[in-house]
Structures are given as C-alpha cells and as structure tokens.
Amino acid sequence: MTETAKISDPHLGEPFLLTPGPLTTSYEVKQAMLRDWGSWDDDFRAMTVDLRTRLLALTGDSKNVLDCVPIQGSGTFAVEAMIGTFVPKDGHVLVLANGAYGKRSAETVERIGLRLTLIDKGDYMPPRGEEVAAALAADPSITHVIVAHCETSSGILNPVQEIADTVNAAGRKFLIDSMSAFGAVDLDFEELKYEAVVSSANKCIEGVPGFGFVIARKDALEASKGNCHSLSLDMHAQWATMNKTGQWRFTPPTHVVAAFLVALKAHEAEGGVIGRGARYTNNRDVMVAGMRDLGFETLLQDRWLSPIIVTFFCPADEKFIFSDFYNLMKQKGFIIYPGKLTVVDSFRVGCIGQMDEHIMRRVVAAAKETLDEMGVADASPPEIALIERAKLAA
Ligand SMILES: *Cc1c(COP(=O)(O)O)cnc(C)c1O
C-alpha cells in the first residue's frame, strides 16, 4: 500500500465508519496486531512506557506536573475509574450535562455512591461559566466538577476553557471527559488547568478499542490512594504498580497497545494535535458544506460545531425514512450514526478516523444518490427543527 493510498482507499473493502469510535483505522494499525506479546516481557513493558510518554507529550505539560495511567476497558470504564479514584469518598461532584455522556457521568457518580449535583442542560445547550460559578458559590461542599469536552451525542464542543477558569477561580477541582476530543482539539495544560482528563484508544488517536487512559496531576494521583470503590478501576493502584514493575495490574490488551503505538506515531507524523485537528476540521467543513448544498441543516450553528461529529436534522419529506437512508448509505460504503435528540429526528456523521476530504466528498455524493433513490427532492428539515435550533444562537 503506497503512502497516498492510505486514506483514499477503502480499507480491505470494508465500509468507512463515520462514527465517533470505533472508527476507520489505517492498514498499519490493523497490521500491528498480527503478533502476540507477553505482558510480563521487557518488550511489552517498554511499549507501555512509550505509550505513556507519548500521550503525556500531547498535553503541553512543560513543568512535568502530569502523569499518564492507562486502564483496560472501553472509555466508560476509564471515566468511572477517574471519578472513583480522584473524588474522595466524602467528595461532592457537580456534573454538567448536555447529552448522553454527561448523563452517564452523573449516573456513574451516583452508582459509586458519591454526592451528586447535576446541571442538566438537555440535548445540547452548553453549560456556561456563569451558571457554574453560581452553583459553586451556592454550595461550598462541591469538590469536583466534570464535563464532556465534546459531547459526542450532539457533537457540540463545550466551552471547557470558560468552565475551567470558573472552577479554578472557585478553588474546586476540574475533571474532563475528553474522550472524543483528545488528540484533535487542544487541551494545553498550561492554559487549561485540570485535575485529570480521560480519553480512550479508539477515538482521535485512531487506535482500536480496548483501553482508556487518564492524564492527571501527579499530586492528585498521590493523594488518591484508597479512594476507589473498585479494585479493577483503581487508577492509583494501577499507577503505583506500573511505576514499580512496568506492568499493568491485570491482563493488558496487548494487541491493542501495539496498534495504539503505531497510531500514536502516525499522529505525531501528521503534526500532532494541530495536524490531526486540521484534517478533521477540513473533513467537517467539506462534509457540512456539501450536505447543506443538498438542503440538510445542522443542529448547531457553526460556532458550536466540533470537528468530531455533526448532527443533522432528518428531512421533513415523508419519503425520508432513516433506516432506509442508513442501509442505502451502507451499501455505498459509509456507515453513519443515528441521532440522539429527544425533540426532533436526527442523524450524525463523524469526521474522525482514517478519512480525508476526498472521502467526505464521496459521503456527500452518496447522500445525494441515496436521496434520489428514496425520491426525496428536498432535504430541508421540518419547521420545528429550526425553532429548536434557534434556542442556541451563534
Ligand atoms: C466514546 C465516549 C465515551 C466512552 O464510551 P465507550 O462506549 O465506553 O467507549 C465517553 N464519553 C464521551 C464524550 C465519548 O465520546
């Protein structure tokens, strides 16, 4: 496979995943999984060190304040590990929710048995600094605040800098679920002070699913000993063991780690967070412009669109049936994603993974062909969708 063919060819004839992880990975990433590794072996221990070091290098932590701890499982396991490890048993968490992932954090806090305060903004309205400041002023017992960086259920990029400034000014601790944004949207630690941030292998770094990781202040890791409600999700124990023996506490996803290292090297070669973010932004811009030309409308105004995933309203035309649209798009090689809005019908198109603007043009062409096949002449949404959208102005 040549350099230029890497992104432009469908991989092994499989459809492209226009989904926010698992996503379309490169041939090289898949190929890295074609051998077995002993988890106790020096070679694999060196791979774990390499992985942690490379991830830390993406945070702009020039003073060496942070450390990186990987943990087995999907992203949700890592979120639960972060909350369970960093929030002490008598802690009180303010969860800022504007979609499914924020709500999942709230549920996690409750399940662990920690005190929860929830600001629920509904399907997509962003939590703003002012209301966070008011909530913190009203309740001095709140110790931690958590928010989703990109709330993947709508694709909104939440104003994390504004929230971080507010949380830090109030002397509370900030946890970020940057699952779907880390590696493509800047999270410079010097600018944006946080206690811990969490992401996983199968999002913007473009690895395959199998583990998540937390990047946290070392002083917070040190202070977290004994907090965690769970044996397997205890990030402090994982950190201490890894530092002492170089090993993961329980069987690591060896092949996933090998693939992730190849993905990290490709990320670096692409220009790191800036380069990766630029490709995804271009993917989004090309795809959104093409879809708007067909009459589709985005849920969000441009200011709130993330370069990760975009929500479109389903067309008002009664000939538009999402399941048919989905299947016809799949036949053309593109797997899209159903929407998660409660008020109006919607679907989502992801911009992340091994895809570039040429692929995105083919996505738009496939959408046009599919509308023709379905007999949908006009992709514009119902009136109620535009009323809904007007609630969040630019
Ligand atoms: C993907 C994702 C998660 C984790 O989901 P899993 O299905 O457990 O991998 C958590 N938060 C956000 C914002 C995500 O995009």
Nearest residue (CA) to ligand 1, atom 9 = 75
Three-state SS letters, 225-278: CCCCCCCCCCHHHHHHHHHHHCCCCCCCCHHHHHHHHHHHHHHHHCCHHHHHHH
Identify whether residues 305 and 250 lie together within a single domain: no
Q: What is the mean pLDDT of the chain?
A: 95
Beta bridge partners of 120: 97
Q: CATH number of the domain that 222 lies in?
A: 3.40.640.10
Ligand 1 centroid – CA 83 distance (Å):
14
Q: Tell me which of 268, 285, 317 is where a domain ends.
A: 268
Q: Tell me which of 268, 303, 324 is where a domain ends.
A: 268
Three-state SS letters, 96-122: EECCHHHHHHHHHHHHHCCEEEEEECC
Which residue out of 19, 80, 82, 101 has the highest number of ligand 1 atoms within 8 Å of its CB and is therefore the one to mutate?
101
Check residue 361 and give its pLDDT.
Answer: 98
218-222 long-range contacts (CB < 8 A, ≥24 apart) are: 218/65, 218/66, 218/67, 219/65, 220/86, 220/173, 220/195, 220/196, 221/67, 221/69
Evaluate: CB of 198 within 6 angstroms of ligand 1: no
Evaluate: CB of 74 within 6 angstroms of ligand 1: yes
Evaluate: CB of 158 within 6 angstroms of ligand 1: no
Identify whether residues 361 and 259 lie together within a single domain: no
Evaluate: CB of 20 within 6 angstroms of ligand 1: yes
H or E, element range at 214: strand 211-217
Q: CATH number of the domain that 276 lies in?
A: 3.90.1150.10
Q: Please indicate, yes or no, if residue 29 is contained in any of the structural domains.
A: no
Q: Tell me which of 238, 268, 298 is where a domain ends.
A: 268
Q: Please indicate, yes or no, if residue 14 is contained in any of the structural domains.
A: yes
Nearest alpha-carbon partner for 31 in 232, 258, 250, 243: 258
Q: Please indicate, yes or no, if residue 71 is contained in any of the structural domains.
A: yes
Q: Encoding tokens for residue 127?
A: 């939590």
Q: 268-306 pLDDT, tens per residue?
A: 999 999 999 999 999 999 999 999 999 999 999 999 999
Which residue out of 23, 71, 152 has the highest number of ligand 1 atoms within 8 Å of its CB and is therefore the one to mutate?
152
Ligand 1 centroid – CA 180 distance (Å):
7
Identify whether residues 70 and 188 lie together within a single domain: yes
Evaluate: CB of 117 within 6 angstroms of ligand 1: no
d(C-alpha 320, C-alpha 31), whole Å: 40
Per the rule left: phi > 0, alpha: psi between -120 and 50, beta: everything else, 13 is left
Considering the entire predicted model, what is its pTM?
A: 0.96
Q: In the predicted model, is pLDDT for residue 328 greater than 60?
A: yes
Evaluate: CB of 337 within 6 angstroms of ligand 1: no
Q: What are the φ/ψ torsions at residue 368 (nearest 5 degrees)?
A: -65, -45
Identify whether residues 149 and 189 lie together within a single domain: yes
Task: Tell which atom from ligand 1 comes closest to the C-alpha of 79.
Answer: 10
Evaluate: CB of 178 within 6 angstroms of ligand 1: no
Check residue 12 and give its pLDDT.
Answer: 65
Ligand 1 centroid – CA 311 distance (Å):
17
CA angle in degrees (0–180, nearest 5) for 321-324-326 = 105
Query: What are the angstrom distances between the C-alpha of 346 and each of 233, 296, 314, 323, 338?
Result: 35, 11, 5, 12, 7
Nearest residue (CA) to ligand 1, atom 5 = 75
Identify whether residues 150 and 43 lie together within a single domain: yes
Evaluate: CB of 370 within 6 angstroms of ligand 1: no
Identify whether residues 91 and 65 lie together within a single domain: yes
Identify whether residues 334 and 187 lie together within a single domain: no
Identify whether residues 162 and 75 lie together within a single domain: yes
* DSSP-derived secondary structure letter, 54: H
d(C-alpha 139, C-alpha 160), whole Å: 21
Q: Please indicate, yes or no, if residue 314 is contained in any of the structural domains.
A: yes
Q: What are the φ/ψ torsions at residue 146 (nearest 5 degrees)?
A: -130, 140
Q: 69-125 pLDDT, tens per residue?
A: 999 999 999 999 999 999 999 999 999 999 999 999 999 999 999 999 999 999 999
**For the chain, how far is it from start to end, CA to CA, in angstroms?**
43
Number of domains in the chain: 2
Identify whether residues 296 and 264 lie together within a single domain: no
Ligand 1 centroid – CA 146 distance (Å):
14
Task: Tell which atom from ligand 1 comes closest to the C-alpha of 149.
Answer: 13
Kindly tell me the sign of the dihedral angle through the C-alpha atoms of 360, 364, 366, 367. positive
Check residue 103 and give its pLDDT.
Answer: 98
Q: Please indicate, yes or no, if residue 345 is contained in any of the structural domains.
A: yes
Evaluate: CB of 25 within 6 angstroms of ligand 1: no
Q: Please indicate, yes or no, if residue 30 is contained in any of the structural domains.
A: no
Residue-number span of the structural domain to which 229 is assigned: 35-268
Evaluate: CB of 381 within 6 angstroms of ligand 1: no
User: Any idea which residue has 């583990």 for tokens?
Assistant: 211
Q: Please indicate, yes or no, if residue 81 is contained in any of the structural domains.
A: yes
Identify whether residues 71 and 126 lie together within a single domain: yes
Q: In the predicted model, is pLDDT for residue 39 greater than 70?
A: yes
Nearest residue (CA) to ligand 1, atom 12 = 179
Identify whether residues 375 and 338 lie together within a single domain: yes
d(C-alpha 176, C-alpha 145), whole Å: 8
Check residue 393 and give its pLDDT.
Answer: 74
Q: Do residues 288 and 305 make contact, with C-beta atoms less than 8 angstroms apart?
A: yes
CA angle in degrees (0–180, nearest 5) for 358-361-363 = 115
Identify whether residues 127 and 158 lie together within a single domain: yes
Evaluate: CB of 73 within 6 angstroms of ligand 1: no
Beta bridge partners of 95: 118, 146
Q: Please indicate, yes or no, if residue 120 is contained in any of the structural domains.
A: yes
Rounded mean pLDDT, 35-64: 96
